[in-house]
Chain A
Amino acid sequence: MSFAISLPNPWQRGRFRVSYLARHARRHPLVLIGGGLLLILIALTLAAPLYAGDPLKMDPFVRLQPPSAEYWLGTDNLGRDVFARTVYGARVSLTVGLISALVAASAGLLIGVLAGYIRSFDNVIMRVMDALMSIPTFLLAIALISLTETGIGILIIAIAIPQIPSVTRMVRSVVISVRERAYVEAAVCGGARLPKILWRHILPSTLPPLMVQTAVVCADAIMTEAGLSFLGVGVPPEISSWGNMISSSRLYLSIAPLTIFAPGILLAITVLAVNLFGDGLRDLFDPRAKRRS
Chain B
Amino acid sequence: MVYYILRRLISAIVVMAMVGIFIFLLIRLTPGDPAAIIAGPTASEQMVASVREQLGLNEPLPVQFGQWAQNTLRGDFGTSVFAGRPVVQLMKQRMEPTLSVALLTLFVSVVGGVTFGILAAWRAGGFVDRALTVFSALGYSLPVFVVGYFLIYVFAIHTRLLPVQGYVPIGQGLGPWFAHLILPTVALSLPYIAFIARIARASMLEVLSEDYMRTAAAKGASPYSMLYRHALKNAGAPIVTVIGLSFAYLIGGVVLTETVFNIPGIGRLVVDAINNRDYPVIQSVLIVISGIYVLINLAVDLAYTLIDPRIRY
A interface residues (Cβ-Cβ under 8 A, vs B): 127-128, 130-140, 142-149, 219, 223-224, 226-227, 230-233, 246, 250, 253-254, 257, 260-261, 264-265, 267-269, 271-272, 275-276, 279, 290, 292-293
A276 to B289 CA separation, bound complex (whole angstroms): 31
Contact with A along B111-141 (1 / 0, CB 8 A): 0000000000000110001000100011011
B275 A272 Cβ-Cβ under 8 A: no
- Point out the residues of chain B lying under 8 angstroms from A261, CB to CB: 146, 149-150
A19 to B16 CA separation, bound complex (whole angstroms): 49
B251 A231 Cβ-Cβ under 8 A: no
B27 A231 Cβ-Cβ under 8 A: no
CB distance from A223 to the nearest CB of B (A): 6
Q: Is B271 part of the binding interface, using a Cβ–Cβ cutoff of 8 Å?
A: yes
CB distance from A60 to the nearest CB of B (A): 25
- Point out the residues of chain A lying under 8 angstroms from B275, CB to CB: 232-233
Q: Is B255 part of the binding interface, using a Cβ–Cβ cutoff of 8 Å?
A: yes
Return the chain A residue nearest B276 by Cβ: A146
4 closest cross-chain pairs (CB), A and B: A138-B252, A264-B146, A131-B18, A272-B141
Interface residue ranges of B282-306 to A (CB < 8 Å): 282, 285-286, 289-290, 293-294, 297
B124 A292 Cβ-Cβ under 8 A: yes
Best-surrounded residue of B129, B248, B282 (most CB of chain A within 10 A): B248
- Point out the residues of chain A lying under 8 angstroms from B259, CB to CB: 230-231
A231 B141 Cβ-Cβ under 8 A: no
B255 A231 Cβ-Cβ under 8 A: yes
A226 to B274 CA separation, bound complex (whole angstroms): 17
Return the chain B residue nearest A227 by Cβ: B256
Q: Is B249 part of the binding interface, using a Cβ–Cβ cutoff of 8 Å?
A: yes
- Point out the residues of chain B lying under 8 angstroms from A292, CB to CB: 124-125, 129
**Cβ-defined partner of A136 (8 Å) among B129, B140, B251:** B251
Q: Is the interface of A mostly helix, strand, loop or mixed?
A: helix
Return the chain B residue nearest A146 by Cβ: B274
- Point out the residues of chain A lying under 8 angstroms from B124, CB to CB: 292
A134 B274 Cβ-Cβ under 8 A: no
- Point out the residues of chain A lying under 8 angstroms from B94, CB to CB: none
- Point out the residues of chain A lying under 8 angstroms from B30, CB to CB: 147-148
CB-based A-B contact count at 8 angstroms:
137
Known: A226-B143, A227-B252. A136 touches B15 (CB 8 A): no
Known: A139-B252, A148-B30. A253 touches B293 (CB 8 A): no
A138 B140 Cβ-Cβ under 8 A: no
Q: Is B157 part of the binding interface, using a Cβ–Cβ cutoff of 8 Å?
A: yes
A145 to B290 CA separation, bound complex (whole angstroms): 18
A135 B289 Cβ-Cβ under 8 A: yes
Q: Is B31 part of the binding interface, using a Cβ–Cβ cutoff of 8 Å?
A: yes
CB distance from B126 to the nearest CB of A (A): 10
CB distance from B13 to the nearest CB of A (A): 11
CB distance from B28 to the nearest CB of A (A): 10
**Cβ-defined partner of A230 (8 Å) among B251, B256, B282:** B256
CB distance from A268 to the nearest CB of B (A): 5
Return the chain A residue nearest B274 by Cβ: A146
Given contacts A138-B253, A142-B271, A231-B255, 14 further A-B contacts (CB under 8 A): A127-B15, A133-B248, A138-B251, A143-B274, A147-B27, A226-B143, A231-B256, A232-B275, A246-B149, A253-B152, A253-B157, A261-B146, A268-B146, A269-B141
Q: Is the interface of B mostly helix, strand, loop or mixed?
A: helix
- Point out the residues of chain B lying under 8 angstroms from A246, CB to CB: 145-146, 149
A257 to B172 CA separation, bound complex (whole angstroms): 33
Known: A128-B18, A250-B149. A267 touches B143 (CB 8 A): yes
Pull 23 A–B residue pairs with CB atoms less than 8 Å apart, ordered by A.
Answer: A130-B11, A134-B293, A134-B297, A136-B293, A138-B249, A138-B253, A139-B255, A143-B26, A144-B26, A147-B27, A147-B30, A148-B31, A227-B145, A227-B256, A253-B152, A253-B157, A260-B146, A264-B145, A268-B138, A268-B142, A268-B146, A275-B137, A290-B205
CB distance from A271 to the nearest CB of B (A): 4
A93 to B124 CA separation, bound complex (whole angstroms): 37
B152 A127 Cβ-Cβ under 8 A: no
A130 B18 Cβ-Cβ under 8 A: yes
A135 to B285 CA separation, bound complex (whole angstroms): 10
B274 A135 Cβ-Cβ under 8 A: no
Contact with A along B7-23 (1 / 0, CB 8 A): 00001001110110011
Contact with A along B262-280 (1 / 0, CB 8 A): 0000000011001101000
CB distance from B137 to the nearest CB of A (A): 6
A97 to B250 CA separation, bound complex (whole angstroms): 21
A290 to B125 CA separation, bound complex (whole angstroms): 11
Best-surrounded residue of A128, A147, A224, A261 (most CB of chain B within 10 A): A147
- Point out the residues of chain B lying under 8 angstroms from A148, CB to CB: 30-31
A127 B14 Cβ-Cβ under 8 A: yes
Q: Is B153 part of the binding interface, using a Cβ–Cβ cutoff of 8 Å?
A: yes
A55 to B212 CA separation, bound complex (whole angstroms): 62
CB distance from B278 to the nearest CB of A (A): 9
**Cβ-defined partner of B270 (8 Å) among A134, A142, A257, A279:** A142
Best-surrounded residue of B16, B22, B152 (most CB of chain A within 10 A): B22
CB distance from A46 to the nearest CB of B (A): 22
**Cβ-defined partner of B15 (8 Å) among A131, A137, A226, A275:** A131
Return the chain A residue nearest B144 by Cβ: A227
CB distance from B168 to the nearest CB of A (A): 22
